[in-house]
């Protein structure tokens, strides 16, 4: 495949992650980078305040940043826009015929917009046809969930496909990069933890139910699993850690749960999608793992690490994932690969 792509919000933290991950992609070629009016007209290397611990990819340094409006040379657009901007901009691109793989939250819960983790609910991309028809768009918007939602839902999906789940409770310890480079002041987070992230708990609870739901009569019938979240910000840079409690319908030995998690594989692995990790879930038997600094880059940041699996009727475990790779840019790229493989582009 040889597909031209563009990135909206290319100078922000998630936008930079898109640029980094796409720079050597075997299918996708970065042809267009867009950002604010302040950045438009400048070469990317001059417009961006690069904050990743890698160099700006040489192939994009000289690309001129364009205004965030239709007219970009691209077959698919990756959106790293803030939600308040994406709300009005993304429909303009979809109406103009672009397919958008969006990391923004603006349209995730719309009934005709696919909210997708390719391992969990690849069939939900069927909503694209309904979306295009109902909105009279030539293009479409496909979204990925919130970062903390992705890190939770993948191991939950592995378990619920084998065993019946009554209720899930989660308490997150989320890295500061989830709020953007300037999102949390250093004086607020150093030597501290903040037991509140605006809108995060609602996103986790609502998005997970949509992801685990089934399409019936052209709409997603959400999962009836009870769900409760408590979200906290801690002073790690990358990597969201989550403490999870799962109430099962019947007693299941934790050894069987670990086996189900280790064996988990799905459509992206079957299709050989380039960004898909060969092992979506890594299970640790060490009592003090996973840890953000040690495990967030597993599977080039796309693998979810799980540890401390214990219990029978109530299973307790810890999950960890890279929030700006698997939880953001990498998730959108994987969605776009699924669209390409299924012939939507």
Give the tens place of pLDDT for each residue, 161-199.
999 999 999 999 999 999 998 899 999 999 999 999 999
User: Tens of pLDDT along 59-97?
Assistant: 999 999 999 999 999 999 999 999 999 999 999 999 999
* pLDDT score of 1: 86
Is residue 147 among the annotated active site residues?
yes
pTM (2 decimals)?
0.97
Strands 3-8 and 76-79, by their bridges, are parallel
Query: N- to C-terminal Cα distance for the chain?
Result: 11
Fold of 147-321: Dihydrodipicolinate Reductase; domain 2 (3.30.360)
Q: Residue 345: its pLDDT value, please?
A: 84
Query: Of 25, 124, 231, 240, which is the active-site residue?
Result: 240
CATH topology of 3-145+328-342 equal to that of 147-321? Answer: no
Q: At residue 69, what are phi and psi to the nearest 5 degrees?
A: -155, 155
What is the C-alpha separation between 31 and 18, in angstroms, rounded?
13
Interatomic CA distance for residues 246 and 226, integer angstroms: 10
What does the DSSP 8-state code read for residue 56?
A: P
CATH number of 3-145+328-342: 3.40.50.720
Residue range 227-253: average pLDDT? 98
Which tokens belong to 36? 């604010």
What's the mean pLDDT when you consider all of the chain? Answer: 97
* C-alpha 310 chain-centroid distance: 27
Whether the Cβ atoms of residue 345 and residue 3 lie closer than 8 Å to each other: yes
Q: Where are the domains of the chain?
A: 3-145+328-342, 147-321
Active site (annotated) includes residue 124: no
Out of 124, 147, 231, 322, pick the active-site residue.
147
């Amino acid at each position: 495949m040889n597909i031209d792509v563009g990135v909206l919000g290319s100078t922000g933290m998630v936008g930079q992650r898109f640029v980094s991950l796409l720079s050597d992609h075997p299918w996708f070629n970065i042809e267009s980078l867009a950002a604010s009016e302040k950045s438009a007209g400048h070469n990317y290397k001059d417009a961006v305040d690069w904050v990743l611990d890698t160099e700006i990819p040489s192939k994009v340094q000289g690309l001129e940043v364009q205004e965030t409006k239709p007219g970009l040379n691209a077959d698919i657009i990756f959106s790293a826009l803030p939600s308040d901007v994406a709300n009005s901009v993304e429909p303009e691109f979809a109406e103009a015929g672009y397919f958008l793989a969006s990391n923004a939250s603006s349209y995730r819960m719309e009934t005709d917009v696919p909210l997708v983790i390719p391992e969990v609910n690849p069939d939900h991309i069927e909503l694209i046809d309904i979306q295009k028809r109902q909105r009279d768009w030539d293009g479409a918007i496909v979204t990925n969930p919130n970062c903390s939602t992705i890190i939770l839902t993948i191991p939950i999906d592995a378990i619920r496909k084998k065993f019946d789940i009554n209720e899930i409770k989660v308490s997150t310890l989320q890295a500061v990069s989830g709020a953007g480079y300037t999102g949390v002041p250093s004086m607020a987070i150093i030597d501290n933890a903040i037991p509140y992230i605006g809108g995060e708990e609602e996103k986790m609870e609502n998005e997970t139910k949509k992801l685990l739901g089934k399409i019936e009569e052209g709409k997603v019938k959400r999962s009836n699993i009870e769900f409760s979240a408590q979200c906290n910000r801690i002073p790690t840079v990358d990597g969201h850690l989550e403490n999870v409690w799962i109430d099962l319908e019947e007693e299941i030995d934790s050894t069987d749960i670990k086996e189900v998690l280790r064996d988990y594989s799905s459509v992206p692995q079957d299709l050989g999608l380039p960004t898909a990790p060969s092992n979506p879930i890594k299970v640790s038997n060490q009592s003090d793992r996973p840890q953000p600094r040690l495990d967030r880059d597993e599977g080039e940041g796309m693998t979810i690490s799980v540890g401390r699996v214990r219990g029978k009727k109530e299973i307790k475990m810890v999950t960890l994932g890279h929030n700006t790779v698997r939880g953001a840019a990498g998730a959108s790229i994987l969605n776009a690969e699924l669209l390409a493989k299924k012939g939507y582009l």
